Chains A and B, each alone.
Chain A
Amino acid sequence: MPITPLLKINQLTYNPPKRWNFFSPRPSFVLGPVDLHVHESETIAIIGGNDSGKSLLAKLIGGAVKPTSGEILLNNQLINTHHSKARANNIRMVFRHSAESLNPGMSIGSMLDEPLRLNTQLSAAMRFEKVNHTLSLVGLMPEHYYYYKHKLSDGQQQRVALARALILDPQVIVADEPFAALDPSVRSQTVNLLLKLQAELGLAFIFVSHNLGIVRHMADRTIVMSEGQIVESNLTQTLFTAPEHPSAQKLIHAHNSLVSY
């Protein structure tokens, strides 16, 4: 049992900034306060209904959105809540697969080269070596270095997104519905790839998903969110057999009734 968790999130909250909008005052959505501990090589799934703040929480951890208050500690060290090298190197984000998740105007190689160029002092030859290594890690060929996005299939594109997250040897990967837009066979390929990489590299993996089958298959712990709050957090097996909170019960029962047929 590790003494200190790898990633510790204390009292993280997010209030959307007030927009001056005369005609339609927005209903304000508040997230948190959220507490979360993540250990090394642990997989945590975040589930919940629509508008429960799952993706927002992932984005807050990944640094894509600046939190209003609260702190994120990595290895007991406070990391800057926005744009810092420590974050870029250690907590990497994978977005849900879409037409816009990869840049159509850059070759895969230069896309993977970018994080290295910005965050490391490696020479061009070493970066090339590293990119090739990461490509083979996610099951792509060295020749994909020269390919553009439009030449790759959806599954390959998601592998590239994963490679982009892996290339800086991070400790935590945060993924916002990484499997949502993939067809079943590609999806299981990606899931297996992730499990394999996790076993090899010892990453902590936090992901948001609607697919409870995958959650049950992958996650060590599952977090249920509802209306911006973590309402239940438990080991996946326990949660799936005996959910406590009403919204967790609703999700699990809906899933079980589908699976049993």
Chain B
Amino acid sequence: MPDTSLYEEEHYPTPLQATWSEFRQRHVAVAGLGILIFFIIMAILGPLLTPFEPTTQHTDAVLLPPAWNDNGSILHILGTDALGRDMLTRLFYGTQITLFSSIITVLVALCFGVILGVIAGMSAGLRSSFINHILDILMLTPTLLIAIIIMAMLGTGLTNAMLAIGLALIPRFVHVTRDFVRQEMSKDYILTAKLDGATSSALFIYNILPNMVERLIVQGTLAISIAILDISALGFLNLGAQTLMPELGVMIADALSTAYIAPWNILLPGLAIFLMVLSVNIVGDGLRSAHRNRMSH
């Protein structure tokens, strides 16, 4: 009997594979992803590679310039700060703290925001508009300002800073989710699913969420770059991570007093923050257009 399934052999890309093949078309996005992966690897493996502790003070090598300078030492490749702590080690740990704490903050805010947004979007009337309008007011104020107010109540520290920034970021996700769910709920395919007896949660997970990924990516990457900037800003203002912690904002604040003698101490953590924010934004933008292109052809 001849094989009737002539086309069965063909390969059907999963949504993830299709998005990746679209993503690869954009070289800038791939470069951004490269930088981001570099930072993530640095944050994970860096502490294992370096022989020093971030708090070890080398009293014989204070304010050492980077190794390529005539006065530099190969022992401290990126130099040391005013207390003789190895700059490269501190950068590794700093990237770890700043990047990962922002990602965790955003993920938590995203979960809460989406749940609240779904509740607001699927319910009608007073409850929906109450959630929405209250959170709209919060969205008008800059996150850093809200974070500082929350910090004033909770006290300083990295955990509190994450909590404050997370709380300040939630309204963004609520707003996006609510608008989108509202818009989708009136469409015919939702009605068909409802007629099949889908419960609200099944309706959201199977029917709405796949279409919402694009918006969540956009908001999520925007929120990660905001979180990176805010966590280091709070660290810089001595409200977030405290002086002993090698957080990037704290490192800049520490180096401020010796800015003229040792500018690399400010430059390097600043550069790390800048590159992280840039790469997160580029990757987010690339993902969004890859996702959109996947849906259109």
Looking at B8, B10, B12, the one whose CB has the most chain A CB atoms below 10 A away is: B12
Task: Let me know if B51 is at the binding interface, CB within 8 A.
Answer: no
CA distance A143 to B8 in the complex (A): 7
A88 and B197 in contact (CB under 8 A), knowing A105-B210, A110-B206, A142-B8?
A: yes
How far apart sit A104 and B295, CA to CA, in the bound complex (Å)?
A: 7
When each residue 146-159 of chain A gets 1 if its CB lies under 8 Å from chain B and 0 otherwise, what string results? 11101000000000
The reply to whether A150 and B197 form a contact with Cβ atoms under 8 Å apart is: no
B 37-68 to A, binary, CB cutoff 8 A, 1 in contact else 0: 00000000000000000000000000000000
| Contact call A95/B192, Cβ cutoff below 8 A | yes
The CA of A110 and the CA of B5, in the complex, are separated in Å by 21
B206 partner residues in chain A, CB cutoff 8 A: 106, 110, 114
- In contact, B207 and A106 (Cβ under 8 angstroms): yes
Interface positions of A from 67 to 82, Cβ below 8 Å from B: none
A residues less than 8 Å from B149 (CB atoms): none
Q: Is A200 an interface residue (CB 8 A)?
A: no
A87 to B192, CA, bound (A): 13
Return chain A residues, CB-CB under 8 Å to B207: 103, 105-106
Please tell me the number of chain A residues within 8 Å of chain B, measured between CB atoms: 31
The reply to whether the CB of B107 lies closer than 8 angstroms to some CB of chain A is no
For the complex, give the distance between the alpha carbons of A104 and B294 in Å: 11
Q: Which residue of A lies closest to B189 (CB)?
A: A103
Interface assignment of B297: CB less than 8 Å from any CB of chain A? yes
B141 within 8 A of partner (CB): no
In the complex, whether B193 has a CB less than 8 A from a CB of chain A is yes
Chain B residues, CB < 8 A from A146 = 12
List A contacts of B8 (CB < 8 A).
Answer: 142-143
- Chain A CB within 8 A of B70 CB: no
B118-161 contacts to A, CB under 8 A, are none
Q: Are B198 and A118 in contact (CB under 8 A)?
A: yes
Q: Interface SS of chain A: helix, strand, loop or mixed?
A: mixed
* CB-defined contacts of B5 to chain A, threshold 8 Å: 142
- Nearest CB of A to B52, in Å: 49
CB–CB B211/A103 < 8 A: yes
- If A100-B189, A106-B210 touch, whether A93 touches B295 (CB-CB below 8 Å) is no
Q: Is the CB of A150 within 8 A of B195?
A: no
Residues on B with beta carbons closer than 8 Å to the beta carbon of A64: 191, 195
A150 to B296, CA, bound (A): 6
Q: Which residues of B contact A47 (CB under 8 A)?
A: none
Residue A63 lies at the interface, judged by CB distance under 8 Å to chain B:
yes
B260 within 8 A of A: no
State in angstroms the CA–CA spacing of A104 and B202 once bound together.
17
Residues of B within 8 A of A147 (CB): 12
Which residues of A from 43 to 87 have beta carbons under 8 Å from B?
Answer: 62-64, 83, 85, 87
- A100: chain B residues at CB < 8 Å are 187-189
Is B12 a contact partner of A143 (Cβ separation < 8 A)? Answer: yes
A164 touches B198 (CB 8 A): no
B196 at the interface (CB under 8 A from A): yes
Q: Which residues of A contact B211 (CB under 8 A)?
A: 103-105
In Å, the complex CA distance between A98 and B191 comes to: 13
A114-B189 contact, Cβ under 8 Å, with A103-B207, A148-B295: no
Contact A98-B188, Cβ < 8 Å, known A114-B206, A146-B12: yes
Whether A95 and B191, one on each chain, are in contact in the complex, defined by CB atoms closer than 8 angstroms, is yes
A118 engages B192 (CB within 8 Å): no
B212 (CB) vs chain A CBs: closest residue: A105
Q: For A101, what are the chain B residues with a Cβ–Cβ distance below 8 Å?
A: 188-189, 192
Q: Which residue of B lies closest to A87 (CB)?
A: B195
In the complex, what residues of A have CB within 8 A of residue B191's CB? 64, 95
Q: How far is the CA of A63 from the CA of B207 in the complex (A)?
A: 20
The residues of A that contact B198 with a CB separation of less than 8 Å are 114, 118
- How far is A102 from B207 in the complex, measured between Cα atoms in Å? 10
Taken residue by residue from 1 to 17, chain B's Cβ proximity to chain A (1 for < 8 Å, 0 otherwise) reads as 00001011010100000
Chain B nearest Cβ from A211, distance in angstroms: 20
Q: Which residues of A contact B7 (CB under 8 A)?
A: 141-143
Closest A-chain residue to B211, C-beta based?
A: A105
Partner of A93, one of B12, B192, B209: B192
A-B pairs with beta carbons under 8 Å apart, 18 shown: A64-B191, A83-B197, A85-B197, A98-B188, A100-B188, A100-B189, A102-B189, A103-B211, A114-B193, A115-B196, A118-B196, A119-B197, A142-B5, A143-B10, A147-B12, A150-B295, A150-B296, A150-B297
| B interface list, Cβ under 8 A from A | 5, 7-8, 10, 12, 187-189, 191-198, 202, 206-207, 209-211, 213, 295-297
Q: Which 3 A-B pairs have the closest CB atoms?
A: A105-B210, A146-B12, A105-B211
